[in-house]
């Protein structure tokens, strides 16, 4: 009888342990993510670079132009990489969540990662920072412009995002580069140019995303540590600033929209300048 009671107690303890692990699974994953984080190097200001940006100084002045200067590039057509890249590097890029007031379940915020990444780059180049109210206003204005000029607010491919950067923000020399490598991304960032990557969001395995994670998501890559990319991830609230993903996690997750079949979308990175 005693053995039977002990066995029942052991089974109850095991089941209870599994239940607790399931309940705390996000906290455990977050703890594991924090263990993988590495020290973030001191951030370098945009003022340290001579970028010669070709954009309209009056941001939000609409430029409709049938001869877009979007450069669709392939890995084999790019100039040689810089000979020496530091082990760690980081740009001082402002951050906003795509839901600046935590409106994750509301439209347009839950579908505004593309807009948030463009606004982040725009404010970086102009040396400006966000308040939640400013970020909220910028996202809503960009979405409203799309509804008025493009007939709706849609998930955007990398090329469409580049076109939005040109027509709405005025950036004229944008590039969509196919088959990027880790070194190619680092090279652009080291030149003072943050890189936008479209991803199959669930492949990022971010424990802070609401399960199962976004089907499609865009990030701004702004630096690197020895083993991780440093990103501004608008899919998170405060934790999105300087969020680290392992290199291979990002490279595996990079996929364009591809009509909603994101895991089979092209491998691309987006340069706005």
pLDDT tens sequence across 161-216:
999 999 999 999 999 999 999 999 999 999 999 999 999 999 999 999 998 999 99
Split at pLDDT 50, 70, 90, the class of 37 is: confident
Q: Which domain holds residue 210?
A: 37-271
Least confident among 67-81, 102-116, 212-226:
67-81
Would residue 63 count as lying in a domain? yes
Would residue 30 count as lying in a domain? no
- What number is the average pLDDT over the span 39-51? 88
- What number is the average pLDDT over the span 28-53? 76
Residue-averaged pLDDT of the chain:
86
The residue to which tokens 């977050």 are assigned? 30
Would residue 52 count as lying in a domain? yes
- What number is the average pLDDT over the span 140-151? 98
Share of the chain above pLDDT 90, in %: 70
Q: How far is CA 163 from the centre of its chain?
A: 18
Q: How far is CA 83 from the centre of its chain?
A: 27
* 9 pLDDT above the threshold of 90: no
pLDDT at residue 7 in the model:
63
Question: For every residue of 21-35, which 3-state class applies, written as one string?
Answer: HHHCHHHHHHHHHHH
Distances (CA, A) of 13 to 6, 20, 28, 207: 10, 10, 19, 26
Would residue 113 count as lying in a domain? yes
* 22 pLDDT above the threshold of 90: no
Would residue 18 count as lying in a domain? no
pLDDT at residue 216 in the model:
98
Would residue 195 count as lying in a domain? yes
* 89 pLDDT above the threshold of 80: yes
Look at the chain and report how many structural domains it folds into. Answer: 1
Would residue 9 count as lying in a domain? no
Count the Cβ atoms, other than its own, within 10 Å of residue 190.
19
Split at pLDDT 50, 70, 90, the class of 91 is: very high
Would residue 201 count as lying in a domain? yes
Distances (CA, A) of 193 to 63, 150, 188, 196, 220: 22, 28, 5, 10, 10
pLDDT at residue 35 in the model:
54
* 32 pLDDT above the threshold of 70: no
Dist CA 255 CA 246 (whole Å): 16
* 159 pLDDT above the threshold of 80: yes
The residue to which tokens 């991803």 are assigned? 199
Tell me which range, 2-11, 21-30, 214-223, is most confidently predicted by mean pLDDT: 214-223
We report the CATH number of the domain holding residue 139 as 3.90.70
* 28 pLDDT above the threshold of 60: no
Least confident among 77-86, 109-118, 228-237:
77-86
pLDDT at residue 128 in the model:
95
- What number is the average pLDDT over the span 65-80? 50
pLDDT tens digits for range 230-265: 999 999 999 999 999 999 999 999 999 999 999 999
Least confident among 13-22, 30-39, 222-231, 237-246:
13-22
* 14 pLDDT above the threshold of 90: no
pLDDT at residue 26 in the model:
53
């Amino acid at each position: 009888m005693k053995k039977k009671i002990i066995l029942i107690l052991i089974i109850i303890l095991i089941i209870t342990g599994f239940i607790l692990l399931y309940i705390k699974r996000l906290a455990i994953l977050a703890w594991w993510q924090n263990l993988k984080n590495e020290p973030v190097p001191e951030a370098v200001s945009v003022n340290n670079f001579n970028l010669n940006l070709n954009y309209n100084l009056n941001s939000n002045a609409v430029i409709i132009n049938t001869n877009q200067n979007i450069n669709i590039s392939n890995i084999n057509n790019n100039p040689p990489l810089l000979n020496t890249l530091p082990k760690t590097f980081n740009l001082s890029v402002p951050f906003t969540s795509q839901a600046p007031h935590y409106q994750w379940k509301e439209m347009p915020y839950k579908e505004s990662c593309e807009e948030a990444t463009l606004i982040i780059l725009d404010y970086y180049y102009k040396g400006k920072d966000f308040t939640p109210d400013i970020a909220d206003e910028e996202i809503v204005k960009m979405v409203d412009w799309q509804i008025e000029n493009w007939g709706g607010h849609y998930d955007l491919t990398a090329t469409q995002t580049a076109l939005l950067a040109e027509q709405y923000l005025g950036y004229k020399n944008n590039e969509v580069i196919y088959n990027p490598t880790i070194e190619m991304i680092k090279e652009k960032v080291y030149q003072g140019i943050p890189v936008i990557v479209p991803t199959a969001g669930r492949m990022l395995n971010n424990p802070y995303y609401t399960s199962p994670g976004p089907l499609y998501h865009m990030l701004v890559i702004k630096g690197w540590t020895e083993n991780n990319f440093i990103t501004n991830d608008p899919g998170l609230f405060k934790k999105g600033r300087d969020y680290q993903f392992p290199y291979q996690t990002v490279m595996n997750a990079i996929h364009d929209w591809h009509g909603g079949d994101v895991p089979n979308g092209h491998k691309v990175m987006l340069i706005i300048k």
